Amino acid sequence: MKAPTHVTNHLEALGLRPATVHYNLTPPALYEHALARTEGRLAANGPLVTRTDPYTGRSPKDRFIVKDARNADSIHWGTVNQPTDAATFEALQARMVDYAAQRDLFVQDLYAGWDDTYRLPVRIITEKAWHSLFAYNMFVRPEGPPADFEPGFTVLDLCGFTADPARDNTNSEAAIFVNMADELVLIGGTHYAGEIKKSIFSVLNYRLTEHDVLPMHCSANKGDSDDTAVFFGLSGTGKTTLSADASRTLIGDDEHGWSTDGVFNFEGGCYAKMIDLTREGEPEIYSTTERFGTILENVIIDEETREPDFTDDAITRNTRGSYPLHYIPNASDTGQGGHPQTVIFLTYDAFGVLPPIARLTPEQAMYHFLSGYTAKVAGTERGVSAPKATFSTCFGEPFMVRHPSVYAEMLGDRIREHDAQCWLVNTGITGGPYGTGHRVALAHTRRMVDAALRGALDATDTTPHPFFGVGIPHSVDGVPSDILNPRNTWEDPAAYDDQARTLAEMFVNNFAQYEDYVSEAVRDAAPTVQASAVDA
């Protein structure tokens, strides 16, 4: 489609002088361009296979936000939200504009957010056809060509542009620069498509709180009676897997807002991890890998049959699949749900300490939300080659622009207002620490989550964890009782106690940074390092 005048005028205002503008192309046209330009390969049954190495995950150390008088006191500056100035941004933009001169550019006009009240119009400009297809998959697609589309934010992704740290004040050849005032994101030096969607997620995390909307790094689904559930968690903890439940309607798998009317998805697609994917284990997600329009990032394919090998991590373990939300058979056609009745925090506990499921009080929920304990899974970020215990506040620290207490207070208020049941679910290691223990069986996790969603655990008896105080259910239908208390799964209970005490100390030390921002009740939800687990 030929770019309308208002689009070309906008590109000119940005200083862009492309050879050709490919505007709002459909997936078949984008496939043709991507294959002709050798950006990817065709896999059996139709997916487009691409590579992004050496950047096979987000590059958080390369993201900067322009600091100005309007946001100086409202952004939580530090190693996550690194400040830069307008002059540096403008100089980088000028260099990227020069790089883009007389190149073909692909433009998609889309939306972030299904709720008309809060949606953000976004214009995604890329030099790669497959990045334009990624944007088409991941954002909300308008019904028909938008006649008078005015972007509320623009992303300029020139992945072939290489930043110069000495000249551009970056930390590497990659650059992700966000300018809130100019409503512009610059991405260069990395082919990893996830930077496109996560940059807009960060913008929404900043803006929506001003409209009493809680932005959340979570998946969401709902039952037949509109009983909505949200699943918080970092990459690799099971957000996509557990929310893609054939018995429930999928609202979305990664980014949502909780407004005064309920939950709405920010995205129009899913960005699922593909490593070790099987038809038997995750049939809904597996089916998307056999469809035209799906992008398989860094997935190895057989040279003769072109069949994907989801067990092959030769490039990275952070292999990804991008596909429209409607590729999941039970996906919502509105992207919205009611107020959550169930809030689940997913964690990958590499220490093997936390229970596979535990009930949380509202105060414990706020404590664990602020703590955001998990383990970074190999390949999720550049430089992470093995699981590493970490604390990522709000279960999404890399994307949270304001102080974490802002989001925690909003979550706590909503949990209490709507009487939501809260659960901590460990999808990580049991029976010992990482390397000795094993991952909690997915079938068991599914049964526990299903029981929580059905309300089957609301009245069940629980025992407080001796170190963390969370309520361990005595039984869950279809799950061996001896795995519910993690101490029972270790050969040496004393070794478990030592490990639990170590993890508790990590929680306490990490939470010290938030103690001045929370109530005494939330501070009292902290684990104790002096517990005795003899009677656990």
Residue 244 or residue 427, greater confidence: 427
Rounded Cα distance between 401 and 403, Å, is: 7
pLDDT of residue 376: 63
Where does residue 246 rank: exposed (0-12), middle (13-18), buried (19+ CB within 10 A)? exposed
Catalytic residue among 239, 273, 317, 465: 239
**pLDDT digits 0-9 by tens, 479-503:** 999 999 999 999 999 999 999 999 9
- pLDDT of res. 146: 67
Question: Could you read off the pLDDT of 508-517 as tens digits, one per residue?
Answer: 999 999 999 9
Mean per-residue pLDDT, 36-64: 97
pLDDT in tens, 224-236: 999 999 999 987 8
Tell me which of 33, 119, 191, 198 is the catalytic residue.
198
Q: How many CA atoms lie within 13 A of 221 on its CB side?
A: 25
| Mean pLDDT of the chain, nearest integer | 94
Residue 536: the pLDDT is 43
Instruction: Give the model's pLDDT for residue 262.
Output: 98
Contact (Cβ atoms closer than 8 angstroms) between residue 472 and residue 493: no
Q: What are phi and psi of 97, to 5 degrees?
A: -60, -45
524 labelled catalytic = no
Task: Provide the 10 A C-beta neighbour count for residue 304.
Answer: 6
Task: Tell me the domains of the chain and their CATH numbers.
Answer: 5-38+59-191 (3.40.449.10), 214-269+335-427+440-474+492-523 (3.90.228.20), 270-327 (2.170.8.10)
Angle, alpha carbons 348-349-351 (nearest 5°): 150
Average pLDDT over residues 403-429: 97
Confirm whether 217 is a catalytic residue.
Answer: yes
Based on the residue annotation, tell me whether 239 is a catalytic residue of this protein: yes
What is the structure's pLDDT at 375?
72
Q: Write down the pLDDT at residue 363.
A: 97
| Confidence class for position 378, pLDDT limits 50, 70, 90 | low
Question: Among candidates 439, 447, 326, 330, which has minimal Cα distance to 375?
Answer: 439
Query: Has 235 been annotated as catalytic?
Result: yes
Catalytic option among 22, 320, 382, 487: 320
Q: For residue 465, indicate whether it is catalytic.
A: no
pLDDT above 70 covers a percentage of the chain that reads: 96
Among candidate residues 123, 217, 382, 487, the one labeled active-site is 217
Catalytic pick from 254, 349, 450, 497? Answer: 254
pLDDT of residue 75: 98
**Helical (H) or strand (E) element with 376:** strand 373-376
Peptide bond into 356 cis (omega under 30): no
- Given 10, 22, 33, 58, the catalytic residue: 58
Radius of gyration of the chain (CA): 23
To the query of whether residue 240 is one of the catalytic residues in this protein, the response is yes
pLDDT, residue 125, reads 98
Which is catalytic among the residues 240, 243, 393, 427?
240
Output the pLDDT for position 132: 98
Active site residue 198: yes
The mean pLDDT of 241-264, rounded to a whole number, is 94
Active site residue 58: yes
